[in-house]
Chain A
Amino acid sequence: MAAKGPITAIVLGGLKELVRDKTSLFWILVFPVIMVLISGGLWANPNPRPTPVGVYVDDTSSGPFNATLVTMAMEETGMFEIKHYDSLQSMLDDIAEDGSPPLGLYFPQGFAANASSGMPASIVVYRVNVSELWVEVDQSKLLGFLSGMEDRVRLTILNYALPHAPPGYRGYLEALADPLKTRVEEVNTAREVSQAVIAGYMAISMVVVEALFIGLNVGASMIHEERESGGLRALLSSPVPSWAILAGYTLTTMVYIALAGLASVAAGFLIGAEYRGLTPGILAASAVMVVLAGLFTMGLGLLLAPLARSAKGANGLATAIAFPLMFLGGIWIPAWMLPEPFRTFAHYFPLSRLSDALKLMIVYGGTPLEALSMTPPVLVVAIIAVYAVGTITYRRMLSMMVEKA
């Protein structure tokens, strides 16, 4: 018999059930929007939080280059939030208590006099003794600022000294004061990390995350759900071939992923994502990649199905596997940020490759050809193989149910 009817029945039924089931609606339409808005909004924030820095000035000496000048300059950059203390101990107590502020600056006696007169001036940086990434970043910011400040001090002192130096020594003194003339120049690139790019990155990542969750859940639970609802008995007694049932569920999965994907992309717009080069070619290539992602996750889900005894158990198992994969599979968190061995795993994980290929086209403006080079034939073959083995597993489960129903 024609399979069109059963496939239509499963897809239409699935869509109607989605609209009426608040839990499914949440996971497919609301969850991606929330994730993109919150995560994208945080990461793509154009005004990152200033680093809190405690300051205690013990210096009573005077000079044009003093602690007040340094702290004012720090505040003017907008990168630091200064909190002044009356004693060194109270500042250290705050740092030690809960790491807020994580950094402290101590200006000892004679700082202004020494710094202003060309003598070595001491300054002490305190940091909370934890190895968190953010503390490292904050410390680098502060040391970078102080290093720049140091260069300026040296040049100011040099300017005082230069008129008194013999001409032959001036170049030498200049080099002594500023031996490495480093400058930063911006180079325009298609892959600049702007707010729009980060927002787009999050939105496209979410499309793949949804493919992961939806495919695994539908694949793992579909046969159990049909059995528990009694529908499987009706289906087995009907002239519907088993492949048509599977095709119906696969198509339903694709529709769910498409809806979740549209919700993610729309949420990306809200936080300023710019999707580049949405040409028909890129849209078609993206659709192929999303379908491949859906086939892969559905195949994995079908492989999980025999490990569960009920639809609830299957959903639990699928979520338990999808959740770590979302973070450690190079989808939500970029692979380069992951520790080994997850970085290597993400490199070979098909969803990570598909996710990168999608971002290349949609976020960074790459061409479909460039994206295709990230999805080599072996990857496509591997994805189809996973789905095929999942299909065989499904048919075996169905046969077992026919034996024992």
Chain B
Amino acid sequence: MECVVEVEGAEKRYPGGVAAVNNVSLTAGRGIHVFLGPNGSGKSTLLSMIAGVLKPSAGRITVCGKDLWGPRGLDARKHIGYAPQDPPLRPLLTGYENLVRHALFRGLSLGEARRRARELLELVGLAGAADRKVGEYSGGMKRRLTVAIALVGDPDVVVLDEPSTGLDPTARRELWDIVVRLREEGRVVLLATHYADEAEALASKVYIMHRGVVAAQGTVAELKERYTPVSVILVEAKEAPPNPEEARSSLMLPGVEDVVVEGPVFRVYAARPNVVAPRVLEAMVGYGVEVRELRILEPSLEDVYFKVTGTTLRGEGVGG
């Protein structure tokens, strides 16, 4: 039977009534489910609840049919592998010993734990550093080891909270390969990130997180089609305009859907960019802006995020 994660009306409220997660419902089956949002959007809180670390204030979460916070909560946790944002590593133990430790927590015998630890070190590319103390690992190595820890119990559901934060591009690619492999193995992967490109590269389904709610969800193609049926004319000026709102208004020409001004960068949304672009250039020069570069871009998930939430993935609200 396929393992599914079901979240029904999950909420997390802190004293004072602040809702970190507010009435979230979703069903996640096989594939990579990416929760996209900046810091504070509620994605890590939601994943902490799904991982069984944080108790919801309201709602219900089941994993493979078992209520995570009910009497069979420990049974439900057998199906979960969790890589938290802060690596759960003991710095005085080696990478291998850390993995064996977590394998024993998952109920493996000592022999099985040792075998599994070797396998996973190979998988995440740390076999050569297996016997080095984790305190001597780089940030990237710690991240990879944390992913290995999430996999140590051979879980049906893998929860990865910002696994690629701080990784260099090569390490990120390697990590993505591992995540894709998890999908191919038929697991449910829940991944939180604030990188739009990561979501675009990996996601079977994207959940746009904003202020504790899932503001939109769907495949990457569905979200783009729904929220950004227009292309983006990206104009980079030499300097930021003194009055962004006025600059924005001056570019709201016929055929222009929207304009976002972020410092010296203007994003002009238009259905027919080839027609609109010369007019935009003309208007900018007329407004007194010195243009350094103009490019026509296909919309990205970042644009989708902005269209849905009115803020960027860095958490900034911008003009427009």
Interface residues of A (CB under 8 A from B): 1-2, 5-6, 8-9, 12-13, 16-17, 20-21, 229-241, 402-405
* Complex interface: chain A residues within 8 A of B53 (CB): 233, 236-237, 402, 405
Alpha-carbon distance between A405 and B93 when the two chains are bound, in angstroms: 25
Residues of B in contact (CB 8 Å), total: 38
Show 7 A/B contacts (Cβ-Cβ < 8 Å), sorted by A.
A17-B90, A229-B89, A230-B88, A233-B82, A234-B88, A237-B53, A403-B54
* Complex interface: chain A residues within 8 A of B26 (CB): none
Dominant secondary structure at the A interface: helix
Query: Which of B74, B89, B104, B159 has most A Cβ within 10 Å?
Result: B104
Query: Which of A1, A5, A17 has most B Cβ within 10 Å?
Result: A5
* Complex interface: chain B residues within 8 A of A8 (CB): 104, 110
- Other A-B contacts than A5-B104, A8-B104, A404-B14, 6 sampled, CB-CB below 8 A, are A5-B109, A9-B100, A17-B93, A230-B86, A232-B88, A234-B82
Is B105's beta carbon under 8 Å from chain A?
A: yes
Is B267's beta carbon under 8 Å from chain A?
A: no
Is A237's CB under 8 angstroms from B51's CB? Answer: yes
User: Nearest 3 pairs between A and B by C-beta?
Assistant: A9-B104, A234-B88, A230-B86
Is A20's CB under 8 angstroms from B84's CB? Answer: no
* Complex interface: chain A residues within 8 A of B149 (CB): 234
Interface residues of B (CB under 8 A from A): 14, 48, 51-55, 74-75, 77-78, 80, 82, 84, 86-93, 97, 100-102, 104-110, 113, 133, 149, 153, 159
Q: Considering the complex, give the chain A residue whose CB is closest to the CB of B108.
A: A5
Q: Which of B77, B84, B105, B159 contacts A9 (CB 8 A)?
A: B105
Alpha-carbon distance between A233 and B51 when the two chains are bound, in angstroms: 9
* Complex interface: chain B residues within 8 A of A405 (CB): 48, 53-54
For residue B191, give the distance in angstroms from its CB to the closest CB of chain A: 15
Alpha-carbon distance between A16 and B108 when the two chains are bound, in angstroms: 20
Q: Considering the complex, give the chain B residue whose CB is closest to the CB of A1.
A: B107
* Complex interface: chain A residues within 8 A of B48 (CB): 233, 405
Assuming A238-B153, A405-B53, is B78 touching A233 (CB within 8 A)? no
Alpha-carbon distance between A187 and B6 when the two chains are bound, in angstroms: 82
Q: Considering the complex, give the chain A residue whose CB is closest to the CB of B81.
A: A237
Q: Considering the complex, give the chain B residue whose CB is closest to the CB of A245.
A: B105
Is A230's CB under 8 angstroms from B84's CB? Answer: yes
* Complex interface: chain B residues within 8 A of A240 (CB): 74, 105
For residue B132, give the distance in angstroms from its CB to the closest CB of chain A: 12
